[in-house]
């Protein structure tokens, strides 16, 4: 789930193959965005609240126009399910985390792939940009968090203190 930047809309992704938008104040459903071929795992609003990204088990990322509910683009390149998506603070870059052990960076306006970040030894659960957008963090089933320089894709650090029980 994700709140819109102004907090008025909540988006939820579901295994029922839909993204639903809800008005927070009333709880009223606003719209259902598309019907994807397989379940959805995560959603994120762009910083301006105009675009919603969804991560899908069909190995794609979809971008939606929030106002109209219309599909904007389908981003393809992962080779396993996409688990998480995050917009950079300026809204120009989208990061996606996948069970294919990679993180991909996409140019939002064109949908063009920018980089594929490799180094995890397990599926990547989630991604998050630093407040200034210069560093991306990725968390993996391999028990690590990796920090990447966004512009170059260079790995900066691997944090290894997590354990699994």
Tell me the per-residue pLDDT of 44-79, one tens digit each, with 9 for 90 and over. 999 999 999 999 999 999 999 999 999 999 999 999
Band the pLDDT of 17: cuts 50, 70, 90. confident
Per-residue model confidence (pLDDT) at position 28: 97
In 3-state terms, what secondary structure has residue 14?
coil
Report the predicted TM-score, pTM, of the whole model to 2 decimal places. Answer: 0.94
Per-residue model confidence (pLDDT) at position 164: 61
40: CB partners within 8 A, 6+ apart: 13, 14, 15, 17, 18, 19, 54, 55, 56, 57
Q: What is the mean pLDDT of residues 85-106?
A: 98
Band the pLDDT of 162: cuts 50, 70, 90. confident
Does residue 36 have a pLDDT over 80?
A: no
What length does the chain have?
A: 165
Per-residue model confidence (pLDDT) at position 6: 98
Check if the beta carbon of residue 81 is closer than 8 Å to that of residue 57.
Answer: yes
Per-residue model confidence (pLDDT) at position 122: 96
Least confident interval from 39-43, 83-87, 148-152: 39-43
Per-residue model confidence (pLDDT) at position 38: 84
């Amino acid at each position: 789930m994700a709140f819109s930047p102004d907090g008025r809309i909540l988006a939820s992704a579901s295994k029922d193959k839909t993204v639903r938008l809800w008005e927070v104040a009333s709880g009223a459903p606003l719209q259902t965005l598309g019907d994807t071929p397989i379940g959805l795992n995560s959603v994120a609003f762009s910083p301006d609240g105009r675009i919603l990204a969804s991560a899908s088990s069909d190995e794609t990322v979809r971008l939606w126009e929030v106002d109209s509910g219309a599909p904007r683009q389908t981003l393809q390149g992962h080779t396993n399910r996409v688990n998480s998506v995050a917009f950079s603070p300026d809204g120009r870059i989208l990061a996606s985390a996948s069970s294919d052990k990679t993180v991909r960076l996409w140019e939002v306006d064109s949908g063009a792939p920018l980089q594929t970040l490799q180094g995890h030894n397990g599926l990547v659960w989630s991604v998050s940009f630093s407040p200034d957008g210069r560093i991306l963090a990725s968390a993996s089933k391999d028990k690590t968090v990796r920090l990447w320089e966004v512009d170059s894709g260079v790995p900066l650090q691997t944090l290894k203190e997590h354990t699994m029980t």
